[in-house]
Amino acid sequence: ERIAQQDQQVRAYLGVCPERALAQARKIDRQVAAGEPLGPLAGVPTAVKDVILTRGLRTTCASRILENYVAPYDATAVERLEAAGAVVLGKTNCDEFAMGSSTENSGFFPTCNPHDLSRVPGGSSGGSAAAVAANLATVSLGSDTGGSIRQPAALCGVVGIMGTYGRVSRFGLVAFASSLDHIGPFGRTVRDVARVLRAIAGRDPKDSTSAAVPVADYEATLDQSLRGVKVGVPSEYFAGLSAEIGDNVQKGIDLLAKLGCSIVPISLPHTDYAIACYYIICTAEASSNLARYDGVRYGFRSPEPELHDMYRKTRDQGFGAEVKRRIMLGTHVLSSGYYDAYYLKAQKVRTLIARDFLEAFEAVDVIVTPTSPIPAFKLGERVDDPLQMYLADIYTVTASLAGIPGISVPCGRTKGEPRLPVGMQMLAKHFREARLLQVAHGFEKAGGFAIA
Ligand code: GLN
């Protein structure tokens, strides 16, 4: 009912699934009545980004090309959520194929930021962040390739975590850039995302890149003291930042110091190359992954009698402008004569960026940065300027390229009206999610920033 009333303004959902939700709720009710043990997410209302497959439900990737595509199976993350008792309410809006930073690239409609309906919720998982911020779900799943969980979490004032690459199975996540794609949760508190992450993480034989590293009980260590934790602050992430973001993040760092963390200035020298590197690698992978939408195997098909016309028209009519831009860019950087200059070079730079982090983590436990250089911007403000849109990812793409885990937690609000949420990003070494969640939780508890 709440979705029916309030989502007319926010537009976080592309579709809801009341039958599936009520069936699961009845199952949980029966377990309660029978006194059976309940799963860790029993009865928790959950939204799922529409790039994640849900059996029997439409899974569109917010693209016209998949407008009528019904998934034949559940993603492993969804299967695990439901096994833990979660109640899936529906599928959330996003940028088409998760390409974007504002949810304005959705092939259907943009989602609005619940804190100010004239502004974007961030992206690409804007619907999943907005659903949680507007209390239209308790938790949600998003996907993060270059910041699509952390950045919308920051802009909507909620918590979002991307685990280590391989921490959560990608089986059933529609591929955008396979070496960068992750599934991860949004919630109103660090504890909520810790619980969801634990439920969905772990080795999955259906995804050969999922890691066989044991999953810790993240909630068990949340309340450990922050005394002595070494927090790195990279100088490269504080230049060219809006003053209000900088002030809030600085206050956040001061709070961590007050909690007993030692603050260590560090340098991540290859940060400047991250956006260029990311947009070469992700478009290269996207151009390959999206070749499968040919009008034959999936979704939309343009009714042309001649085969090549059919391919061309299907893709021309089915894909939006940003998706086409990336397919062209990705094809270009992979083409003979350009491969060495662009794609191969970007792969080398990726290694240097990862090495920056590994060296930094010799000296510190976590790294703290702003999540986004700016707070939620106005709908329409950046949508015609792809480069401006790409720059919104400046602080998030580095962790994606390095494969390390990252979380965004609320760390205050801007001064003007409306007071917009500001997010702080924390990063840790591969598979140190427990440490990340512990620091984020200690920070949240001391600052009281979370929207209750
Ligand atoms: N905004 C970035 C992009 O457009 C990241 C998207 C994502 O993480 N899925 O590629």
Instruction: Render pLDDT for 354-381 as a digit per residue (tens, 0 to 9).
Output: 999 999 999 999 999 999 999 999 999 9
Residue 132 has pLDDT above 60, yes or no: yes
Question: Where is 91: in which H helix or E strand?
Answer: strand 87-92
Q: Which amino acid is at 413?
A: R
**SS3 at position 346:** helix
In angstroms, the CA 3 to CA 1 distance is 5
Helix H or strand E segment including 399: helix 397-402
Mean pLDDT of 79-93: 98
Report which ligand 1 atom has the smallest distance to the Cα of 151.
Answer: 1
Residue 149 CA: nearest ligand 1 atom is 8
Mean pLDDT to the nearest integer, 212-224: 98
Are the C-beta atoms of 37 and 29 separated by less than 8 Å? no
Atom of ligand 1 nearest to the CA of 144: 8
pLDDT at 242: 87
SS3 at position 184: strand
Continuous H helices in 239-344:
243-258, 274-289, 307-318, 321-334
Tell me whether the omega of the peptide bond preceding residue 140 falls within 30 degrees of 0, making it cis. Answer: no
**Catalytic entry in 63, 101, 102, 148:** 148
Tens of pLDDT, residue by residue over 400-432, are: 999 999 999 999 999 988 999 999 999 999 999
Residue type, 11: R
pLDDT score of 241 = 86
Percent of the chain with pLDDT over 90: 94
Residue of 49, 63, 140, 408 with catalytic role: 49
Ligand 1, pocket-test mutation among 49, 50, 52, 99, most atoms within 8 A of CB: 99
Handedness of CA 385, 410, 144, 102 (dihedral sign): negative
- Which residue, judged by its Cα, is nearest atom 10 of ligand 1? 99
Q: How far is the CA of 101 from the centre of ligand 1 (A)?
A: 6
Classify the C-alpha dihedral 452-161-238-241 as positive or negative. negative
Which protein residues touch ligand 1 with a CB less than 6 Å away? 98-101, 124, 143-148, 176, 282, 393
45: left (phi over 0), alpha (psi -120 to 50) or beta: beta
Whether 124 sits among the annotated catalytic residues: the reply is yes
Question: pTM for the full model?
Answer: 0.97
Decide if 148 is catalytic: yes
Is 335 a known active-site residue?
no
CA 106 to CA 108: how far, in whole Å?
A: 5
Question: Is pLDDT at 452 greater than 50 in this prediction?
Answer: no
